[in-house]
Amino acid sequence: MIDKKKLPMVAFLWVAFLLVGFPVPSSHGEEYPDPGKFSGPDACGNECHKEEVAIWKETRHALTFNEMETSDKGKEIAGKMGVKRPKTDDACAFCHFTRMMVDGKAQVMAGPTCESCHGAGRDWIKTHGDYGGKDVKKADETPAHKAQRLEQSLKDGLIPPKDLYLWVRNCFSCHLGHNEKLVNVGGHTPGSNIELVSWTQGKPGKAGSMRHNVFYAKGNQPAAVERRRLIFVVGLMTEIEYGLRAIGKATQKDVFATKMARRVKTAWDKLQLVSQAIDVKEIKTILSGMKAIDKELKLNNADPLNRLSEQIKEATKVVAQGYDGKGWAALDAMIPYSP
């Protein structure tokens, strides 16, 4: 039985520490996607992924195209940030929209699309859909050609649904924001209240989940329970990593820093419970790293946070690629959503 009272209290230090202040250098280091590298959802849905695109059109990602810019909150944030048109502003478009080159000009074509999550497709989409020649169907593709095709597609930027490590990172790149000014000045939330199992395996339909299982099974069924456990754990680990990096970029004792600290604390507490329930050495290693970093926390000292973030990143990759969720039934009661 899990004893919550025995959880280490070190996570509470984040909030208390940040209330005093955390003046460290800020550098977002984000590169805005090149509109010239996007092909658009029709390039995916014309032949191979028709059902996926139809489902996407009912998700929040698609619906935000018309809703975000006209909502009261969207207008309020834009006004505070001095943004006249969110659809043409880099900071807004980075997560809320997809821009493509049309007649030599960058134009907003949709909300977050297939390529927002799976990588801009210009460099890989033809390779991805070539099964060995013009008249060769997927069912007739040779194993050797399939291996070469997938390898080249990955090199060219494809993020496939089966690569849990990569697509989870892509989710958090937007859903756990690193833009301090947007939060403190604009009043934007410091990221979404994201929980990956419910967000990716929830019920499809109007504003529902994509699930990403259409191509592998009929009926867009939720992922197997073992896969959902792995998604839950990898999501927690990634949230902690990204949260620590965000804290390391904070420059002011304000909403951004304190709320990021609380996010890290909440995710860390959950990961402690996970570690009590299942025996995964990579999780235990990063939890012990938190105890070590406790002694190094002080003003103007982001380096320990970045070092721990790198350790968590590598541990998360090992867990995502080296475990399958089997034997982790003890986690089922912790996961807030079960299809």
Structure tokens given for 157: 């930027």
Closest CA to 316 of 272, 278, 277, 285: 285
pLDDT at 3: 41
Task: Give bridge partners of residue 108 from the DSSP assignment.
Answer: 99
pLDDT at 183: 95
Mean pLDDT over residues 40-57, rounded? 87
Amino acid at 131: Y
- Rounded Cα gap, residues 313 and 316, in angstroms: 5
> ∠290-5-239 over CA atoms, to 5°?
40
- Rounded Cα gap, residues 122 and 43, in angstroms: 10
State the maximum Cα–Cα separation within the chain, in Å, rounded to a whole number: 66
Q: Is the predicted pLDDT of residue 6 greater than 50, yes or no?
A: no
CA atoms within 13 A on the CB side of 173: 21
Q: Is the predicted pLDDT of residue 9 greater than 60, yes or no?
A: no
Closest CA to 238 of 134, 130, 314: 314
Mean pLDDT over all residues of the chain?
Answer: 84
pLDDT band at 199, cuts 50/70/90? Answer: confident
- Rounded Cα gap, residues 315 and 275, in angstroms: 14
pLDDT band at 182, cuts 50/70/90? Answer: very high
